[in-house]
Structures are given as structure tokens and as C-alpha cells.
Structure 1
Amino acid sequence: MSNEIKIFENKEVRSIWDIEKEEWYFSVIDVVGVLTESSNPRRYWSDLKQKIKDEEGGIEVYEKIV
């Protein structure tokens, strides 16, 4: 795997390239920070996951997002 920093709208987004799968993986926290312009993207993501769980009666966040 290869680690890289990508720049999106002048903000860093951590990423990893999986050579075997030929896929990029990006940091959810970094993407949330860029898209929401939140000063605390980790907290924003945590609150969003909780809200989804509460609204959907316990459905896993992964299933809802994917």
C-alpha cells in the first residue's frame, strides 16, 4: 500500500492506494472536514453516526452509507 496526501479545496485528505485491489481509500474524517468545513470533523462524524443509528433504529452506519 502507498500512503499519499491529496489536496482538495486547499485542504489535505489522507489516502492510501491498495496495489492489489487497485483502489484508493480516503480518510472519512478528512473528507467530512473538507465537505462540512467543520472546525471539529471528528466530532461531526461521531454525531452524524449517532444520529443515523438513532433514526434508523440501530441499523449499522456502514450499511446506511454504502
Structure 2
Amino acid sequence: MGADGDKPARRALEDCAVEEFRAGLLTPPELRRRLGFGTRTMLDAFLKERGVYTDHDDADLMQDLRDLDRLGL
């Protein structure tokens, strides 16, 4: 199956994961890993596109900085 054939499967994975997150069954780090995002910022952009917003604190910011450093960004 080519890239176009993978889109429905990816969309189903994303939809399911977002619903689990909304229901409190997944934490942000779990959701990030499940969907393969390298940073919380990438996850936040994904969630924002779907109208899902999360709260951030200083610990989240520090983790974001560590993630960016780890990725060399």
C-alpha cells in the first residue's frame, strides 16, 4: 500500500488516540509517543488543529527544551 493508502489508517489512529486523550486514558507523553511526535510542541500543534488544548507549566517548558536539545533543534 502506498502513502495514499496509509492515510485512512493514520487518520483512524489519530482519531482514536485523541479520543483516548480527551477521556483521560492517555497522558500527553503517551499520546506523543503513540503518534510519533518528537516534541510536545509538535503534539500541541496537532492537538490545536483538532481543537484540543492543554495546560502547560514550567516543568512542561523544561521538558520541551530538553526535547529540542535532544533533537538538535
Same fold per TM (> 0.5)?
no
Query: TM-score scaled to structure 2, two decimals?
Result: 0.27
Q: Which has the larger radius of gyration?
A: 1
Query: TM-score scaled to structure 1, two decimals?
Result: 0.29
Greater share of residues in strand: 1
Higher relative contact order (CA 8 A, sep 6+): 2
